[in-house]
Structure 1
Amino acid sequence: MSDFGVTRDGFVLKGFDAILGDAMDRARQMWAALGLDPDLTSTSPLRKLLEATAHEDAELWKRLEDYYYSAFVSTATGDALDLLGDDVGLGRRDTFATGTVTLTLTGGLPGRTYLVGEGTILLAPGQSQSYATAAVVALTAAAPVATVAVQAFRRGAAGNVPAGAITAVDPAYRAVYLADFGPADLTVVNQQDLTGGDGREDDDSYRGRQLGISRSLWTAEAVRQNALDVDGVIDVLLADPLGGVDVSQSFFGEFLFSERLFNAERRIGEPYRFDVVVAHDFRWPWTTTGAVPGVFERVSAAIDLVRPAGVHPNVVEADHIDVGVRARIVTEPGQDQAALSTAIREALAAGLGDLRLGGDVLYSRVVRTIVEVAGVVDVQRLHLRRHPPAFGRITLGDVPYLSTAVDAAVGQNLTMGPTELPVLRTDAELHDLELVTP
């Protein structure tokens, strides 16, 4: 059996050295049959000819290796990955258009600060597109102008609007979240074109969606996959009290349903319901707000594509828990304290932004994230802090409501419930960072 090519361990590439060695062996055999000894030194014409052909054969072997691995989702790239996605009806998605806008406060009262929250919905009239701000902006009568990054809510080239197209705050959003502006007004305009909407999803993200796609129409995996494909959704948890969609339970198929030992009996004619807990990016509104369709409505529509008749999802918003840090941070001499504090907040938001439902906030990971920031020498008296969800939030677990933040002891992790999503924001009021210089 050959040691190269398709083997039980995958495709084994035959390199240039092995190809050249085989070619030289064949040359020696042919010349030996004629009673001659070939000159295969590094400067001989025969050696140069064999090296030239070996180089071409080595490139051919590389192409064969690429062709072999292009048949597998875990190793395919580019067009080959697109073809595998077409086989299962999952296309590569467009990216979001991004850019910046200028916010201007008019009629502001002296001495008052007006906050424009992250996720403020902006409109481009006539373009059927809406955008979300990516940071909190503080405006005053003395400093009424600020620039903030924005991102389109919908994917695709339609978000690539020209300069001057974004000119309004969504009226429905303004009425709810900016109603306290009083006589002051807020104007918005993008000074430059928004770009990036005509890009395509990168291979790693596209590959991850293909690996997670369900091949069955009605399973827990199919429901979860459809919900995760909705823009703005971070994580999904399914809770099925009757076991109808989750066949992975250890007792599934091992007891008589007629005895009703493990579940309650469903009356004939009643619709069957199961819970879908959805954690989402807070910039996407949970319910439809103005021109932006809500996560709730879009997840419900996505699940409707795979659910059988008479089976209905109960889509519930997850408990988004604000997380902060209280610590004494020793810095190098000469550091800009304000800039370093901002860098630490940004590092925490970026470094812990991959947490999912039920994911604990680890003390060791927070310490490592902070000390990796340039200019930080040591972290002392670090306490992780959490604030429960807003009053009135529907929960599926025992999550008490408290008006103040809860501080964990030094060295203690923040343990999250199965329906809780830890959220770290750069502007979180829970952060209490004391920066000192030795």
Structure 2
Amino acid sequence: MAIKFGLTDRGFIAPTYEEWLDAVQDDMKSRFGDDIALTSNSTFGSLARMYAWRLTEMNQQLQLVYYSGFYATANDSALDHLGANIGVLRKVAAPSYATLQITTDGEYLIEAGEQFETEDGIIFNLTDDVLTKQDDAGNWVGFGNLESDETGEMNNVMANTITVVSNPDDTIIAVTNPEPASGGNDEETDEDYRSRLIMENVAQEGPTANGIRSALMNLPGVREVGIVDNDQATADEYGNPPYSVHIYVLGGVDKEIAQVLNDRVAAGVTLTGSKAVNITDEAGIVKTIHFDSATEVPIYLQVELKTTDDWNQDDSVSQIQADIAQKINALEMGQTVYLTKLFSEVYDKPGVEEAAIKIGTAKDKLGYTDVQVKRFEVPVCAPSNVEVVVDG
């Protein structure tokens, strides 16, 4: 059977079914004579096709085993095993965390387990008891920690959106989250996990810029990292002081981010940023770590449609909302939201005849121009931010 297959000095060769069939038929002719019948309904022909199909299947499985040994081609559990070899595990689905400010009409105890939510119905649980106290302005205020009821990135809601008391209480005047919720994480996809493993292979966790980025990206909930290294004797264009490093992180938990920076940033490096988190090192010394969270810029859209009879009124609206939100949320820090690139997420739906899209950073300020964000801002969009108006 003169056919090359399997592992060779040029990689793995996996012949097609047709190539295997030709090889099996040639082998049969050499053994039983050139005049044997090899049609599909003959005995030899049926056997040849059966052998060729089995050989194709086995060779394809061997090929999968071969490619499972490489970051670029491994999938599922094979990719998990490769990550475990270097101590970088896939990020599992995790809840989001936030700080809740509670205002009451007098001293009041809110017990752990109480639920609060956003207008969209994303629920958070209070993880500890909160006793409100009177502040300098005479208001009764308390602060507590929240954990989202479900896991997933969708729970990383923006600041001042957790405003609903799930079980109404007349004593509670108002609730809100002064800062965005963070830490929520979907189970990491093969594509994202693979990119992180390749980054780790190129630049392992350490004091270099790429090493710090790798270490931060390995934290649950961290989606992106930006680093500005000002090595000049004067302030840079962003106002960073001389000889400083300014790190911007999208997502993640502040305490965990600060710990990584404490462990990975080289001694003598001056970190700058508006956030200041205290970390106690191995020697018991309290150090203040400075950094910043990347600013999320909410994007709002209105999609006006003219449709035909092929339009699916039950599912297509929600699908357009989800697809547009996913497209925008896939953008990286500092990337522009190009209006024209969103039309493909609309016109690929059956029944869409004409479409017009307006976009902006506020519901009441929409237009037909691209949305540009600053270098350390990230465009974000929830499906509910996409209004779809259908004119049949």
The interval holding the TM-score normalised by the smaller chain is: 0.5 to 0.7
Q: TM-score when scaled to structure 1?
A: 0.55
| 1:339 positional shift | 9.9
**2:207 equivalent in structure 1:** 218
The structure with higher relative contact order (CA 8 Å, sep 6+) is: 1
Matches of 2:15 and 2:51, distance apart in 1: 14
Asked if 1 retains the 8 angstrom alpha-carbon contact of 2:117 and 2:124, the reply is no
After superposition, give the CA deviation of every residue in 1:233-287 in whole Å (9 maximum; x if it has no partner). 3321111112xxxxxxxxxxxxxxxxxxxx3299xxx99641111223xxxxxxx
Alpha-carbon distance change, 339 to 85 in structure 1, aligned in 2, over 3 angstroms: closer
**What amino acid is aligned across from residue 13 of structure 1 in structure 2?**
A
**Identity fraction in percent:** 20
Determine the structure 1 residue equivalent to 2:335: 359
2-structure distance, mates of 1:20, 1:370: 45
Q: Which ranges in structure 2 are unaligned for 5 or more consecutive residues?
A: 97-115, 130-144, 154-158, 174-183, 236-240, 273-290
- 1:233 maps to a residue whose letter is V
Shift of 1:359: 1.4
The one-letter amino acid paired with 1:384 is I
For residue 150 of structure 2, give the secondary structure of its aligned residue in structure 1: strand
Which residue of structure 1 aligns with residue 151 of structure 2?
152
- State the Cα distance separating 1:97 from its structure 2 match: 7.3
Matches of 1:23 and 1:437 in 2, distance apart?
61
- Tell whether 2:387 aligns with 1:425: no
Indicate conservation of the 8 Å contact 1:27/1:38, yes or no.
Answer: no
Aligned residue number for residue 141 of structure 1: none
Distance 1:5 1:336 in 2: 48
Q: Which of 190, 195, 202 is 1:208 aligned to?
A: 195
Matched, 1:84 2:82: yes
Give the drift of 1:177. Answer: 5.2
Normalising by structure 2, what TM-score?
0.61
RMSD, aligned α-carbons: 4.7
Picking from 277, 280, 293, the partner of 1:317 is 293
Partner of 1:264 in structure 2? 233
Residue aligned with 1:71, SS: coil
Task: Give the match's secondary structure for 1:379.
Answer: strand
Partner residue in 1 for 2:61: 63
AA aligned opposite 2:376: T
Task: Describe how 1:20-419 pairs up with structure 2 within 5 A.
Answer: 20-30=21-31, 39-42=36-39, 53-96=51-94, 116-117=118-119, 121-123=124-126, 131-132=147-148, 150-152=149-151, 183=170, 201-213=188-200, 214-216=202-204, 217-242=206-231, 263-264=232-233, 273-280=244-251, 295-311=253-269, 313-314=271-272, 315-325=291-301, 329-330=305-306, 345-371=321-347, 377-380=353-356, 382-386=357-361, 407-408=366-367, 410=368, 412-419=369-376
What do residues 184-208 of structure 1 show as CA deviations (whole Å, max 9, x unaligned)? 669xxxxxxxxxx9x9755344323
Contact 1:233–1:278 (CA under 8 A) maintained in structure 2: yes
Question: What is the number of equivalent residue pairs in this alignment?
Answer: 310
- Alpha-carbon separation, structure 1, partners of 2:48 and 2:352: 59
Counterpart residue number, 2:139 = none
Residue 385 of structure 1 and its aligned partner are, at CA, apart by: 1.7
